[in-house]
Amino acid sequence: MTSPQEPGADPLDPRAHPHGHTHQHGPVEPVSDRLRRVIAAVLVPFGVVMLAGLVLLWPGGAPEQEERSGVGFDQQHEDARVTELTQHPCEDLGVQVQQGVTGPCEQATVEVTSGPHAGHTFTEVVPPDATKRFHDGQEVVVAYAPEAPEELRYSVVDVDREVPMLLLAAIFAIVVVAVGRMRGLLALVGLVVSFLVLTLFILPAVLHGSNPLLVAVIGGSVIMLATLYLCHGVNARTSVAVLGTLVSLLLIGLLGSLFMELAHLTGNTDDQTGLVHSLYPGIEIKGLLLASILIGSLGVLDDVTVTQTSAVWELKQAAPTAGWRRLYSAAMRIGRDHIASVVNTLVLAYAGAALPLLLLFSIARSGVSTVAFSELVAEEIVRTLVGSIGLVASVPVTTLLAALVASADRPPAGPAGERGVESTGGSGPWGDGPSAGATVPAPSGRRWGAPPGRRRATNPRRRRKR
């Protein structure tokens, strides 16, 4: 049993600590027609432009190369299986190991199971200090080099992880749907949409030579519009989150471009980037770096803007008479906690991805400033700090937009100056379902509230006395 809130207590007062708990999580008051038109006037043209850009820049698949280079990922791969594994002294196999390394070498017999040479076998020697180990019957992936000598045409490049990866994906989908139900299912659909846009549009368009920044803006915007509206519905609340995300992405793009120029970052700092540039010289590597910053920040931005918008709407439902200033102040108290956790999350995410790099620099003899200001590390610092600035800025921007929209309407008066009653129905294309603040006329013969004038007696005994 919960105790009711004290009369006159302010639900948005940070000093108020009511002991009751509400379980009313229904939809909130939709915005007015005027605000719907304003939101539509901003988002509809933007959506049309993004779809037009998607059509104009559609690559139609990755560009075909006349011949494979045979380096890196540009190799012909086939499936294979380890059929036998034996141990021999490394000297007998002609393998030299580092000083201090002991133990026998393993010789794996591998059978190719796909491609034109299915059934062909070859041997692969594994030194004792190798991190990759094999076992009998293990499925592996081999690279085929047709121009190499016959005994060197096949080599093991990786193990086959298809079964465990698909199993993990299935467990993930089951958990999301079991907990999130319909919202979880829609989130999975949004994830599929993001993957399709990334693999069918963004990556092939960049390979075809389109500007990486323009491709990332169009592709990221399409992903944002599709996933947010799919998961959270076509309503004013989601539209405000979209607007807040767009403003933050614009800020990230401007800051990223500025500090990439000031720091003279080229984006060509690792083997993968160098390999891509050598295979496709027309790709703008610097634009690719900025595009990666935008796309990497988009997922966290969606979480921040949706959370802040929902907080404002819930606060408005708790205090229907609150103005936008009070809503903004109350929601920003939530947002400050969100900022602290999100910034830490982003920094740790980038640090986790660059952990081997950090280990190498931690044992380097160069000074901290020399290491931190090198291009390899400066690129990660710019990526982290620019993304964090955009995330932090998204909190006040989105909260302000949501507070202005949520507090823009006032309950209209009912017929003949009577006060309305909160309805439980009504929805619209930009509304949030049933309204918590809309009004309906009072039923015939009844008046809501306390009408002026003398009230008629309803007690039968008092009527008889009269």
Residue 78: strand pairing partners? 142
Q: Torsions phi, psi of 36, nearest 5?
A: -60, -40
Residue 342 and residue 339: Cα distance in Å, rounded? 5
435 has a pLDDT exceeding 60: no
> Measured on CA atoms in the order 286, 288, 291, 297, is the torsion positive or negative?
negative
Tell me which of 161, 180, 198 is where a domain ends. 161
327 has a pLDDT exceeding 70: yes
- The more confidently predicted of residues 174 and 145 is 174
330 has a pLDDT exceeding 50: yes
Note whether 128 and 213 are same-domain residues. no
CATH of residue 112's domain is 2.40.50
Q: Kindly report which listed range (162-171, 215-224, 361-370) carries the lowest average pLDDT score.
A: 361-370
Q: Kindly report which listed range (187-201, 315-329, 435-449) carries the lowest average pLDDT score.
A: 435-449
Note whether 239 and 323 are same-domain residues. yes
DSSP 375-427: HHHHHHHHHHHHHHHHHHHHHHHHHHHHHHHHTS--PPP-GGGPPPEE-S---
Question: Domain for residue 432, yes or no?
Answer: no
DSSP 8-state symbol, 6: P
Note whether 213 and 113 are same-domain residues. no
Per DSSP, helices labelled H in 97-235 are 162-197, 203-207, 212-232
Q: Kindly report which listed range (55-59, 217-221, 243-247, 431-435) carries the lowest average pLDDT score.
A: 431-435
- The more confidently predicted of residues 81 and 32 is 81
The pLDDT assigned to 10 comes to 57
pLDDT over 70, % of the chain: 71
Question: Domain for residue 452, yes or no?
Answer: no
Q: Kindly report which listed range (154-168, 417-431, 450-464) carries the lowest average pLDDT score.
A: 417-431
pTM above 0.75, yes or no: no
Question: Domain for residue 25, yes or no?
Answer: no
Nearby residues of 188 by Cβ (< 8 Å), 6 or more positions away: 173, 176, 177
* pLDDT, mean of residues 260-283: 75
Nearest to 226 by CA among 253, 199, 186: 186
Question: Domain for residue 316, yes or no?
Answer: yes
pLDDT over 90, % of the chain: 11
Residue 241: how many other CB atoms lie within 10 Å: 28
Note whether 50 and 121 are same-domain residues. no
13-67 pLDDT, tens digit per residue, is: 655 444 433 333 444 445 566 667 777 787 888 888 888 888 888 887 656 655 5
* pLDDT, mean of residues 211-234: 87
Note whether 312 and 238 are same-domain residues. yes
239: its two tokens:
């539209």
Note whether 139 and 234 are same-domain residues. no
Note whether 135 and 224 are same-domain residues. no
H-helix or E-strand containing 34?
A: helix 33-56
* pLDDT, mean of residues 278-299: 80
Residue 434 and residue 443: Cα distance in Å, rounded? 19
Angle between helices 285-318 and 236-262 (to 10 degrees): 150
The pLDDT assigned to 173 comes to 95
286: its two tokens:
């610097």
Band (pLDDT 50/70/90 cuts) for residue 177 is: very high
Question: Domain for residue 455, yes or no?
Answer: no
DSSP 8-state symbol, 201: I
Note whether 133 and 54 are same-domain residues. no
Per DSSP, helices labelled H in 319-354 are 324-353
* pLDDT, mean of residues 263-284: 74
Residue 287 and residue 108: Cα distance in Å, rounded? 44
Residue 120 and residue 75: Cα distance in Å, rounded? 18
Q: Kindly report which listed range (73-82, 113-122, 412-421) carries the lowest average pLDDT score.
A: 412-421
Full domain range(s) for residue 55: 33-59+208-406
Q: Contact 202/219 with Cβ under 8 angstroms?
A: yes
Residue 196 and residue 108: Cα distance in Å, rounded? 38
User: Which of 226-230, 287-291, 460-464 is predicted most confidently?
Assistant: 226-230
- The more confidently predicted of residues 316 and 148 is 316
The pLDDT assigned to 430 comes to 43
3-state secondary structure (DSSP) of residue 360 = helix
- The more confidently predicted of residues 27 and 347 is 347
Give one word for 199, left, alpha or beta, with left for phi > 0 and alpha for psi -120 to 50. Answer: alpha
Give one word for 267, left, alpha or beta, with left for phi > 0 and alpha for psi -120 to 50. Answer: left
Start-to-end Cα distance in the chain:
45
The pLDDT assigned to 400 comes to 92
Residue 335 and residue 33: Cα distance in Å, rounded? 29
Question: Domain for residue 218, yes or no?
Answer: yes
250: its two tokens:
């614009």
The pLDDT assigned to 300 comes to 81
The pLDDT assigned to 418 comes to 42
The pLDDT assigned to 18 comes to 43
Band (pLDDT 50/70/90 cuts) for residue 413 is: very low
CATH of residue 362's domain is 1.20.1640
Residue 168's identity, in one-letter code, is L
206 has a pLDDT exceeding 70: yes
Note whether 264 and 348 are same-domain residues. yes
Q: Kindly report which listed range (57-66, 152-161, 265-274, 444-453) carries the lowest average pLDDT score.
A: 444-453
442 has a pLDDT exceeding 60: no
Residue 245: how many other CB atoms lie within 10 Å: 26
Tell me which of 406, 421, 446 is where a domain ends. 406
Note whether 215 and 148 are same-domain residues. no
Band (pLDDT 50/70/90 cuts) for residue 175 is: very high
3-state secondary structure (DSSP) of residue 125 = strand
Strands 154-159 and 439-440: unpaired
Residue 305 and residue 335: Cα distance in Å, rounded? 10
Note whether 249 and 333 are same-domain residues. yes
By the 10 Å C-beta count (0-12 exposed, 13-18 middle, 19+ buried), 188 is classed as: middle
* pLDDT, mean of residues 89-115: 84
Band (pLDDT 50/70/90 cuts) for residue 174 is: very high
The pLDDT assigned to 14 comes to 56
By the 10 Å C-beta count (0-12 exposed, 13-18 middle, 19+ buried), 189 is classed as: middle
User: Which of 59-73, 200-214, 264-278, 410-424 is predicted most confidently?
Assistant: 200-214
Tell me which of 358, 382, 406 is where a domain ends. 406
135-167 pLDDT, tens digit per residue, is: 888 899 998 887 777 777 888 888 888 899 999
The structural domain count of the chain equals 2
Question: Domain for residue 366, yes or no?
Answer: yes
Residue 332 and residue 35: Cα distance in Å, rounded? 23
Question: Domain for residue 356, yes or no?
Answer: yes
Note whether 151 and 293 are same-domain residues. no
Mean pLDDT of the chain, nearest integer: 76
